[in-house]
Amino acid sequence: MSTGDGSPRLRPIARTLAVLVALRTAVRTATGRERPGPPAPPDVDPSERIVPASRRAETIVAALLLAAAVFGFGFTFVYVVSGENTQLLGLAVGGMLALLAAAAIIAGKLVVPQEQSVEQRDPLLVEEQAEEIVEIVEAGGEGVSRRALLAGAGGVAGAALITAAATPVASLGPTLNGIHTTDWKRGVRLLDTSGRPYLAADIEIGTFYTALPEGGDPEHLGAGLLVVRLPPEFLHLPPARQSWAPDGIVAYSKICPHAACAISLYRYPTYRPTSVEPAFTCPCHYSTFLPGEGGRLVFGPAGRALPQLPLMVDADGYLRAAGPFHEDIGPSWWNIHRGQS
């Protein structure tokens, strides 16, 4: 038995270890883990890409912005001149948005500077460099720079976009104060549809008349009146309204307070023993009002009485308004316009 470094007892162990090391090395080499190569470069951040300057791209972006401004102002022009031409309105606003999108895409890819650079520290400013800077600044003040051109085109396009977006505000309708007023004021004469003023003697029992305000807008929601004469047995106005019906003549708004339909039906009893008292009926949903009782609602979905206008007769016998309506005219909700009921 040998006990030195070359002892036969240690040789099998050494050979076994050598085989294991060789196998391990072979496996790691086969799997590529023994000698890893240099680390792979990290993915390049899109924000770090370098975009070279392109005067052509800047010109294209400026042209697209100006074209978008033309479409935007064109939308406003068409809306003001002919608001009913929805095809042109859609073409104008669609073209404006498409051109703005194209300008933004081209600017993001070809115009916006995204560079990586390392600036070395320069020595202190010398006189020659100072003169150079002065020349650069003076040269920059001549003409229109590319940045100023793009900024100006973008400003014009933005102004066109804001104008086009704000133009439809004009279609929101009358102000709230205008809704609560009409052309009926004290002293205004009642005219028929041909413009002739009504005399109190013209109003006969059993017939209803349509009246409009003298000097007023006949298209206004509160312009139309229903005028009838009632015999004393059918006239039962509240005490505060006894003076509103000279010679038994009463006047009410022609607009139904349910959905702004024009009231056009008047029921007057022809055989009193079996007939009910006179009534106005709306042809749309059959709301029924009693003119002899202050326009009280007796049937239908209107929800409130028909607004009454106080009347008076002047010295010449003409019918005039004794004051304005004491309540709002038209439907009980204000999201509907005349002629759309």
Predicted pLDDT at 109: 80
Those residues with Cβ within 8 angstroms of residue 156's Cβ, 6 or more apart along the chain or in another chain: 65, 66, 69
HSE-CB of 116 using CA atoms within 13 angstroms? 7
Query: Do 284 and 259 form a contact (C-beta atoms < 8 A)?
Result: yes
Model confidence at 297: pLDDT above 90: yes
Q: What is the mean pLDDT of residues 249-257?
A: 95
Predicted pLDDT at 143: 46
Higher pLDDT, 12 or 248: 248
Model confidence at 226: pLDDT above 70: yes
Instruction: Locate the domains of the chain by residue range.
Output: 49-114+145-169, 190-321
| pLDDT tens digits, 17-39 | 665 666 566 555 554 554 554 55
Model confidence at 45: pLDDT above 60: no
Amino acid at 145: S
Nearest of 165, 153, 157, 171 to residue 71 by alpha carbon: 157
Q: Using 50, 70 and 90 to split pLDDT, how confident is the model at 12?
A: low
What is the 3 state secondary structure string of 14-29?
Answer: HHHHHHHHHHHHHHHH
Please state, in angstroms and rounded to a whole number, the distance separating the CA atoms of residues 205 and 266.
12
* Class level of CATH domain 190-321: mainly beta
CB-CB neighbours of 2 under 10 Å: 10
| pLDDT tens digits, 88-111 | 888 888 998 999 898 888 887 877
Predicted pLDDT at 159: 87
Full-model pTM: 0.52
Model confidence at 336: pLDDT above 80: no
Please state, in angstroms and rounded to a whole number, the distance separating the CA atoms of residues 260 and 239.
28
Query: Do 332 and 304 form a contact (C-beta atoms < 8 A)?
Result: yes
- Judged by average pLDDT, the poorest of 95-99, 136-140, 243-247, 258-262 is 136-140
Q: What is the mean pLDDT of residues 68-79?
A: 88
Predicted pLDDT at 82: 78
